[in-house]
Structure 1
Amino acid sequence: MASRGSDIAGLGWVSIIRIGLVQASIGAMVVLPTTVLNRLMVVEYALLAAIPAGLVAWHYAVQLTRPLWGQISDKGRKRTPWILCGIAVLAAGVLLAARATPVMANDFATGFGLAVLAYTLIGVGVGMGGTSALALLASGVAPQRRAAAAATTWIMMVAGIVASAIVVGKLLDPYSPERLLAIASGLAAATITLCALATFRLERGHVQFEETRKDEPAPDFRAAIAEIWSETAARRFTVFIFVSMMAFSMQDLILEPFAGLVYGMTPGESTQLGGQHQGGILLGMIVAGVGGSAFKGRLTSNLRAWIAGGCLLSALALSVLAISAMVGPGWPIGPNVFVLGFGNGVFAVAAIGAMMGLAGAGAKTREGVRMGVWGAAQAIAFGLGGLLGAVGVDAARRVLGHDGSAFQLIFAVEASLFVLAAVLAVRATRAAPTLGDEMGAGEKEVFA
C-alpha cells in the first residue's frame, strides 16, 4: 500500500463526490426521525419533549459502536459493503419510526417499543454506513487532498439535509399519519437507490494511503483504541468535539417545538425553518472552506481562527435567539436561525478539515478506528446535548410556567457552551504539532 506522502493518486474528485452522495443520503434520511418526528411528538401528539429527546439520544448511544465498525472495515478488504448495509438498516429504521410515532398516540406502550427498535436501527445504520464512508475517504484520498475532500463531502451531507427538510416540509402539510408514511417510504427508496449507484465499483483498483503494510495485521480493538488515545492531539481534539457538538445539538430537538409553541408555526413551517438553519450551515461551510484553508489541500495556522470564530458567532446568534423567545411572533426568526446555522457551518468545516488531517497522522494509521473514536465522541455529545436541551425545556416550562422563558434559559446555556468550545478549539489545535516527530515532512505542514 502507498505510504503517507506518496505521489501516487488515490480517489479522484469524481469518487469523492460519490462518497459525498452517500453522506447526503444519510443526512436526508436522518432529518425525519431527528427533527420532523420530534416536532410531531411534542406538538401534534402532546408528548413530553423528553420522549423524542430520549429516542434520539438512544440512537446516538447506539453509535458508540462506531469505533467497532471502523475496526471491522479496517480489517476487511472492502468498505463499500458496510456502507450499503448501513444505508439499508438506516432506511428500515426510518420507516419503522414513521409508523411508530402515530401509534404512540393511541397505544403508547406498543408505539414506544416500536420506536425504540426503530431508533436502534437508525443508530446502527448511521454508525455502520457513516463510519465506513469516512474511513474510505481518509484511507483512499491522498493526504494533500483530504481536507478539501472532507469539506466537500460534509457540505454535500448538509445539502442533503437542507433539500430533505425543504421537500418534506412542503409535502407534509396538511399532516396525516398516512402522508407521513408515504413520505418516509419515498425518501428511503430514493436514498437506497442513490447510494447503490454512487458506490458501484467505487473501490475497484484505488490506492490506499495507509501506514500499515498488507502483511502487518491490524491490532485488536482494545489495542487500537489505546494506541490512538495515547496521542495528545487526538485526545484533546476528542474533548473539543464532545463540547462543541453538545453545544451544537442542544437546540436540535427544541428548535421546531420552539417554533410551534412560541411562534405558532405549523409542522410544515417549522420543518422549513429547520431547513433555513441547515441552509445557513451549508453557506457557512462553503465560506469557511473557500475563504479559509480547507480547500487549499492543507491546513494552516488560521484554522484556529475559523474554528473559534464559528463557535463565537454561534454563541452570539443563540444569545439573540434567547432574546427572541420573550418577543414571539414578529421577530425575524428566519434570519436569526440562518445566522446561527452560518456560525455552526464555519466551525464545523474547519473542525472537519483538522479531523481529516489527524485521521492519517500518528505512529500507526488506523483511519477506521480513529474516525470511529471521534464519531463516538460526537454521538455521545449529540445524544447528551439533545436530551439535556429537551429535558431542560420540560423542567423550565414546569418551574417557570412560561414557554418563552424556558427556551430562553436553554439557549443561553447553549451559547455558554459554544464559548467554552472556542477556548478548547485553540488548545486542541495547538497540541497538534506534538505529532511532528511521527509525521512525514509534508504532513508537518498540515499542523504548522
Structure 2
Amino acid sequence: MGTLLQFGGFAIMPFALLVLSGEGAYPAVYGQFGAALAFLLVGAGLHTTQTAGLALATDIAPEDSRPRVVAFLYVMLLIGMTGSAVIFSELLRDFSELKLIQVIQGVAVVQLLLNIVALWKQEARNPTLTSASRLRPQFGESWAQFRAAGGSTRMLVAVALGTAGFSMQDILLEPFGAQVLQLTVGQTTALTAFFAIGTLGGFALSARMLGRGGDPYRLAGLGAMIGMFAFAAVVMSAPAQSVLLFRAGTALIGFGGGLFAAGTLTAAMAVASGSDSGMALGTWGAVQATAAGGGILLGGGIRDAVASLASDGMLGAVLSGPAIGYCFVYYIEIALLFATLVAVGPLVRTTRTNYAQSSAKFGLAEFPG
C-alpha cells in the first residue's frame, strides 16, 4: 500500500509542478493543489512503507541483534539517499521540463520495482494472521498495551523535541555557509559529505555501545548533548569567520543526530517487542516525521522573519548582519536539545533491555537473514 501511494504521488508530481509554474493552460492554483496532493501521497507512502519495514525488522530480528539492525537500516538509508542524489544530479545535468517528467516518472517505476524485490520472501505466509475472522484489538486496547510496555508520553515528547532540534537546520546550513562564510557552491555542497561522515560515525558508535549492553535512552541523551555543542560551534564560526569550526560543527550535528536516531529507534523496537509492533513503531514514526517536518518549516520561517526584522533595523545595531536569522534558529535548536535531555533523563534504565552480544564488531555476522 505504501509503495502504491508513492507511485501515485510521483506520477502526479511533475505535471503538478509544471502547472504550478504558471506556463500551462490552467491557472497555477491547480498546480498548488496537485503538488500538495503529490507530496502528501509520497510522504504517506514513504512512512507507511517505513513503519511496515521497521515492524518486520522487529519481528524477525533477535533481541540481541537489534542494535546492529538499527545501525544498518540507517546506514543503508544514508547510502540510498547519497547514491540517488548523485544519480539525479547526472540525469538532470542538461535540464529540461521533459527530462524532469521522465526522471520523476522513472523514480515512480524504480521505487515500485525495488520495493517488490525488497519484500520478496521476507516473511513466511501465515493465513491465520490475515484471516478476516481473526480478532483484532481496538485502538484503545493497543494503545494501553503500548503504554504498559514502556511507550510513555515522556518517550514521545523526547523523540519530538530531539528530532525537531536536529531538523530545524536542515535547509539552513548550506545557505549559512554561503551567505555568512562566503563559501563557494562546491564548498557548501561538500558539507553534505561532512554531515554524512558524522552520521555514519554516530551509527557505528551506537551499534558498538548498544551491542555491549548500553542503554538506548542514555545513547539518545549523549547524541542530544553532542548536538548542543555542535550548534554552538556553528554559531561561533560566524564571528570567528572560521570555516574549520563550521565544518566541525556540521560533522558533529550529523554525529549527534545519528546517536539520537539510533537510540530512540532501538528503544521503540524494545517497546514494540512487548506490545503491538505496528502501534509502537507507527507512533514513533508519526512523532518523528511530524517533528522533522514541523522543525524544517519553522526553521526556514523563523530565519526569514528574524532576518527581515534585522534588515529593517528593528532589532538594533548590535543584532544585525546576515548571520542573525540563522543563529536565532540555532539557539532555538540548542534549547530544544537541552529540553530533550530533561525529557530523556528519567527514561534511562526505566526498562532494562539486554542487547549484549558475543562480539562488539560492527559487521554482518549477526544481521538477520
1:311 aligns with 2:224: yes
Distance (whole Å) between structure 1 residues aligned to residue 248 and residue 310 of structure 2: 28
Distance (whole Å) between structure 2 residues aligned to residue 215 and residue 95 of structure 1: 36
Distance (whole Å) between structure 2 residues aligned to residue 200 and residue 344 of structure 1: 32
1:246 aligns with 164
Evaluate the alpha carbon distance shift between residue 428 and residue 169 of structure 1 in structure 2; reply closer, same or farther with a 3 A threshold: farther
Distance (whole Å) between structure 1 residues aligned to residue 193 and residue 105 of structure 2: 20
Deviation at 1:368, TM superposition (A): 0.7
1:323 aligns with 2:220: no
TM-score, normalised via structure 1 length: 0.66
Work out whether residues 89 and 121 of structure 1, in 8 Å CA contact, stay in contact via their aligned partners in 2: yes
Distance (whole Å) between structure 1 residues aligned to residue 252 and residue 92 of structure 2: 26
Evaluate the alpha carbon distance shift between residue 429 and residue 167 of structure 1 in structure 2; reply closer, same or farther with a 3 A threshold: farther
Aligned match for 1:387, one of 278, 291, 297: 297
Show the 5 A alignment for 1:256-405: 256-259=174-177, 261-262=179-180, 263=182, 266=185, 273-274=191-192, 276-290=194-208, 292-293=209-210, 295=211, 299-301=213-215, 303-325=216-238, 333-361=246-274, 365-401=275-311, 402-405=321-324
Distance (whole Å) between structure 2 residues aligned to residue 97 and residue 138 of structure 1: 33
Q: Which amino acid aligns with 2:322?
A: D
Deviation at 1:369, TM superposition (A): 0.9
1:104 aligns with 20
1:419 aligns with 338
Query: Which protein has the bigger helix share?
Result: 1
1:87 aligns with 3
Task: Kindly provide the CA deviation profile for residues 362-413 of structure 1, in whole angstroms up to 9, marking residues without a partner as x.
Answer: xxx2111111111111122112212211111121121112432101110121
Unaligned runs of 5+ in 1: 1-84, 434-442
Evaluate the alpha carbon distance shift between residue 380 and residue 109 of structure 1 in structure 2; reply closer, same or farther with a 3 A threshold: same
Work out whether residues 159 and 279 of structure 1, in 8 Å CA contact, stay in contact via their aligned partners in 2: no
Evaluate the alpha carbon distance shift between residue 92 and residue 410 of structure 1 in structure 2; reply closer, same or farther with a 3 A threshold: same
Aligned match for 1:410, one of 317, 323, 329: 329
Show the 5 A alignment for 1:76-225: 85-94=1-10, 96-101=12-17, 103-106=19-22, 108-169=28-89, 171-173=91-93, 176-204=96-124, 217-225=135-143
Deviation at 1:285, TM superposition (A): 0.6
Deviation at 1:198, TM superposition (A): 1.9
Evaluate the alpha carbon distance shift between residue 360 and residue 193 of structure 1 in structure 2; reply closer, same or farther with a 3 A threshold: same
Work out whether residues 146 and 271 of structure 2, in 8 Å CA contact, stay in contact via their aligned partners in 1: no
Q: Which amino acid aligns with 1:354?
A: A
Evaluate the alpha carbon distance shift between residue 169 and residue 413 of structure 1 in structure 2; reply closer, same or farther with a 3 A threshold: farther
Work out whether residues 326 and 405 of structure 1, in 8 Å CA contact, stay in contact via their aligned partners in 2: no
TM-score, normalised via structure 2 length: 0.79
2:349 aligns with 430
Aligned match for 1:255, one of 168, 173, 190: 173
Distance (whole Å) between structure 2 residues aligned to residue 284 and residue 330 of structure 1: 22
Q: Which amino acid aligns with 1:300?
A: G
Residue aligned with 2:348, SS: helix
1:68 aligns with none
Q: Which amino acid aligns with 2:223?
A: G
Q: Which amino acid aligns with 1:119?
A: F
Work out whether residues 162 and 276 of structure 1, in 8 Å CA contact, stay in contact via their aligned partners in 2: no
Task: Kindly provide the CA deviation profile for residues 51-91 of structure 1, in whole angstroms up to 9, marking residues without a partner as x.
Answer: xxxxxxxxxxxxxxxxxxxxxxxxxxxxxxxxxx3123224
Aligned length: 341
Evaluate the alpha carbon distance shift between residue 279 and residue 189 of structure 1 in structure 2; reply closer, same or farther with a 3 A threshold: farther
Distance (whole Å) between structure 1 residues aligned to residue 7 and residue 335 of structure 2: 36
Evaluate the alpha carbon distance shift between residue 251 and residue 175 of structure 1 in structure 2; reply closer, same or farther with a 3 A threshold: farther
Task: Kindly provide the CA deviation profile for residues 130-180 of structure 1, in whole angstroms up to 9, marking residues without a partner as x.
Answer: 111111112232333333322222221122122223443455456554444
Work out whether residues 172 and 180 of structure 1, in 8 Å CA contact, stay in contact via their aligned partners in 2: yes
Q: Percent identity over the alignment? A: 24
Deviation at 1:265, TM superposition (A): 5.1
Distance (whole Å) between structure 2 residues aligned to residue 335 and residue 139 of structure 1: 38
Distance (whole Å) between structure 1 residues aligned to residue 16 and residue 53 of structure 2: 29
Deviation at 1:183, TM superposition (A): 3.7
